[in-house]
Structure 1
């Protein structure tokens, strides 16, 4: 697919971003966990202190058609104490079903690598659900290496509330 455009998201893209998030959650069988709203995303992505960024890919369904939103990548910075440098963390990568298999995911991942290099990041990482073999194989084909020695720990909801009061 030659006509793919990637651009930074704007506040006008918030409904589109939320739509992509819901489609991703549906694919991952986690739609019931989505509590994000347009208001929350507007504040978190474009408010006084943005916590994450989004890039949007647009493509043509056919060579004659108009560009149509095809996918997104939502990311933010982290920091490696061992490297003493910032890193880039990809939270969500989503390509709409009609555009899958056309290189759009690769273009989004490549653009994030460019952003990471421009920002002097020494790492670029993400997680993938263990059952998602096609995505894991795709990531590995691009040079990503699974980090099986690290186990993610999460505190959320009541556990987060309880921990904050210890």
Structure 2
């Protein structure tokens, strides 16, 4: 498995991973109308704009590529900060057939290494509390920071934040 920085030609595969894993992960947590609202083309445009066309972007993406050169996961993170946390994981998605094989860990570690190069000292990520995969963040050393309830298309949904106070350890 190869983890590398994303390039513009990765975006169609990233959009597919994003949509497919997002629907699978959040089905039953957030309303189906919200899950069905996005399209692959819309996600492609969003990722191209955010990562490659915006000269002010502070976001980074790494992808996981299998032996056949196919993308199977990605992580997006930024140096935008939230409260006292300098680094933010925005998304991490891995196809279900590739989960629990260390790919998420490889992506996470690559992101932490890049953030450290950017002199980022700490990190936060928000996820839905009912996300069956959220224990991954605990496995990676994240500590529960805060819980909030948000409105998603009229449904109240709990979100939870995990933090790393010192990513250089």
TM interval, shorter chain, is: 0.7 to 0.9
Superposition pairs of residues 109-148 of structure 1, within 5 angstroms: 109-133=108-132, 135-148=133-146
Root-mean-square deviation (CA), in Å? 2.5
Partner of 1:43: 49
Greater Rg by CA: 1
Compute the TM-score of the two structures, normalised by the length of structure 2: 0.72
Structure 1's unaligned 5+ residue stretches are 61-65, 155-166
> Is the Cα–Cα contact under 8 Å of residues 87 and 116 in structure 1 kept in the other structure?
no
Q: What count of residue pairs does the alignment treat as equivalent? A: 143
- Alpha-carbon spacing, 1:59–1:131, altered in 2? closer, same or farther (3 Å): same
Compute the TM-score of the two structures, normalised by the length of structure 1: 0.74
Partner of 1:94: 93
Partner of 1:76: 78
CA apart distance, 1:94: 0.6
In structure 2, what is the Cα distance between the partners aligned to 1:137 and 1:9?
Answer: 26
Structure 2's unaligned 5+ residue stretches are 28-33, 152-169
In structure 2, what is the Cα distance between the partners aligned to 1:105 and 1:16?
Answer: 17
Partner of 2:66: 59
2:128 is paired with a residue whose SS is coil
Which one has the bigger strand percentage?
2
